Structure 1
């Protein structure tokens, strides 16, 4: 039995089977239909720590070697050959490699949190983490480049700065992978799409993008349009992985639910369509295709909102009311834009995006609630 002081009383036979003694710690994972008890593995922690040190050292040698070969002994903070460029390339690659290695190790362990994540989702989730890291560092260097114009460092200082950022990146990845869950994937989805859109807006502030439309950020007339398009594309991939992860777990709770199957199909189509909107930007030659794909997004979202009462088991009254309110706001925005002419195209697109995105996040929060309570807690054997 468990008590408030986080102690766990186990039969002697089970203690022997687990290989633990009184006073030792165990990790208890409580899921919707399971309870797993495992012992901490300090050896694995030490392996990951040494792996982080070795990978940081190797990448720092690559960084140092590049500038020595190029005979550059004063390295700029930002620019084509700079600390920023090497961090964005090598540090992002380090994070991606670290994610893959830690994921594979944990996947082979019984009782780990990543056990519920399928192997087919590994490339998508790993690339999503790398993309978030890349965008975050790109944003930080963008700010630093404007705060410290013309800043440069000697080779030793720049290598030390690179090593510091690389070690922080790898440590962050090592800490996040063991916590991988549907809620974390939901947060990744939010982070990727929001950071990509915001970075694209900031990059194009001098082009007055808001005088055109939101899709302008992804066209060949925009600055760094790849940020916007890549964010949409990877958001679609993450959404696809999230849907697969969530509904594989929900199937154990609702094994023969046709409503959930229809909901899964609609969300899968939404994820594919979102990725295609990023893959086919609103350039002149494919304008009609982009517009058609964006239109499908609206129809799918409206279909989900209007049908959620029948698609989601035991839907709460509050969520149903919120869904109707969002649907009403979308229709009101459509009238104000198309009929009244009060809203501009950009204002309508941003309003529709925020409403649809907010509702989608709330939907995934409701789906995650079905899998609760899921928690990891350490207990002392009594």
Structure 2
């Protein structure tokens, strides 16, 4: 009797089971990925240090603001993260089950690669801007000498490259849920910290996107890239849904279509700021909530094998959003509170969907190796 084990997080498609030798190969591949990630981080450190010497040499550098350590580190980290992630997905794997796309999905695989590379780069960009903003508030008026500035920038860039490569090498729907969560938190917090208007919350959440400072760019960019990530989820996160029969394939296509719609509408919220496109901005924002509600309500029919607890939770989320909207209409809550809570519920549902979809039974697919 042979010993088998389940692979919990497949890279691109579900794998029902792998043999013990396959486990050993996976372990060796993980060690290879770790070694390669360290190499990539080292290269990023050296390259960034050389560039930083020319940029910082002979002057004291501010922590945040224009031509600052924070801006340089954010840009360098973003480039390093995007390139490292792309390299992790393109790196040849002789015994990999999922690092290369299926022949029929090559076009979509490349779209996913570009979108996720941009997402990782943006996470690094906004993350280091947020760190610089916090440090600048902690050390008011402080500057950094050239030598430590070079070392700090190079170390941050190396860390960005290393983490992006490691994450890309083991990418799965569950990893993707973490990427979306981190990106949203980093983007929103950075926008709030860098806002020039401390009273922005008295209007609405979209007020962060109408100022003429870095917070507006951060807020709108966060929404746009988040929309791109959600559209990527449309294929990547639904690849493990049952698709044995024609009905199942149609249901999976509907789920994907709704995720694409959510992503497009979310990106449009950032593309069309409320101060210049008031009607269009509000229309796409409302449409996103409606699309989310329809997807949640239709989920028991679209994916009947989804865990009951998750399905019930979705109905609870929709109910909470409806109640909050009624409280806003009654003048009890302001619009910012309603938008923040609604956004938190919608994105937490998407993240939980990515984590629960891997547990969906595949029926006859389990005996045939599944479909993508």
Count of aligned positions:
344
User: 24, 31, 42: which one pairs with 1:53?
Assistant: 42
Deviations 1:177-231 (A, max 9, x none): 2111111111111222232222222333843112111111111367621111111
Deviations 1:281-334 (A, max 9, x none): 112x31111111111112101111221221112233323332332222222222
Distance 1:303 1:185 in 2: 23
Distance 1:298 1:193 in 2: 17
User: 123, 133, 136: which one pairs with 1:132?
Assistant: 123
User: 224, 236, 245: which one pairs with 1:245?
Assistant: 236
Evaluate the alpha carbon distance shift between residue 245 and residue 101 of structure 1 in structure 2; reply closer, same or farther with a 3 A threshold.
Answer: same
Evaluate the alpha carbon distance shift between residue 246 and residue 357 of structure 1 in structure 2; reply closer, same or farther with a 3 A threshold.
Answer: closer
Q: Which has the larger radius of gyration?
A: 1
What are the ranges of 5 or more consecutive residues in structure 1 without an aligned counterpart? 5-27, 373-382
Which residue does 1:35 correspond to in 2?
18
Q: Give how far 1:239 is off.
A: 0.8
Evaluate the alpha carbon distance shift between residue 50 and residue 189 of structure 1 in structure 2; reply closer, same or farther with a 3 A threshold.
Answer: closer
Which residue does 1:79 correspond to in 2?
65
Q: Give how far 1:280 is off.
A: 0.9
Structure with the higher fraction of residues in strand conformation: 1
Is the 8 Å Cα contact of residues 78 and 141 (structure 1) preserved in structure 2?
yes
Which residue does 1:97 correspond to in 2?
83
Distance 2:61 2:239 in 1: 49
Which residue does 1:318 correspond to in 2?
309
3-state DSSP of counterpart to 1:341: coil
Q: Which has the higher contact order (CA 8 A, sep 6+)?
A: 1
User: 208, 213, 217: which one pairs with 2:208?
Assistant: 217
1:275 and 2:275 matched: no
Q: Give how far 1:144 is off.
A: 0.9
Output the TM-score relative to the length of structure 2: 0.82
Evaluate the alpha carbon distance shift between residue 266 and residue 67 of structure 1 in structure 2; reply closer, same or farther with a 3 A threshold.
Answer: same
1:197 and 2:188 matched: yes
Which residue does 1:376 correspond to in 2?
none
Which residue does 1:2 correspond to in 2?
3
What are the ranges of 5 or more consecutive residues in structure 2 without an aligned counterpart? 102-107, 363-372
User: 134, 156, 168: which one pairs with 2:159?
Assistant: 168
Distance 1:150 1:336 in 2: 44
Which residue does 1:12 correspond to in 2?
none
Is the 8 Å Cα contact of residues 32 and 371 (structure 1) preserved in structure 2?
no
Q: Give how far 1:252 is off.
A: 5.4
Which residue does 1:120 correspond to in 2?
111
Q: State the 4+ residue runs in structure 1 displaced beyond 6 angstroms.
A: none
Output the TM-score relative to the length of structure 1: 0.80
Which residue does 1:11 correspond to in 2?
none
1:351 and 2:341 matched: yes
Evaluate the alpha carbon distance shift between residue 31 and residue 309 of structure 1 in structure 2; reply closer, same or farther with a 3 A threshold.
Answer: closer
